[in-house]
Amino acid sequence: MRETPNASVRPPDPKARVVAENKERVGLVLVHTGDGKGKSTSAFGLALRAVGHDLRVHIVQFIKGSRTYGELRSLERLGVPVERAGEGFTWEVRSDERQRELASWGMERARAAVASGVDVLVLDEVNIALGKGFFPIDEFLAFLAERPPGMHVVCTGRYAPEALLAAADLVTRHELVKHPYQRGIRAQPGVEF
Q: How many CA atoms lie within 13 A of 123 on its CB side?
A: 32
pTM of the model: 0.83
The pLDDT of residue 192 is 75
Q: What is the pLDDT of residues 39-55, one digit of tens each?
A: 999 999 999 999 999 99
Are 135 and 103 within 8 A, CB to CB?
A: yes
Domain 26-178 homologous superfamily, CATH: P-loop containing nucleotide triphosphate hydrolases (3.40.50.300)
pLDDT at 183: 84
Which pLDDT score is estimated for 11? 62
Taking only Cα atoms into account, the Rg of the chain, rounded to an integer number of angstroms, comes to 19
Residue stretches of the chain with pLDDT short of 50? 1
pLDDT score for 1:
47
Beta-sheet strands, E only, within the chain: 29-33, 57-62, 82-85, 120-124, 152-156, 170-173
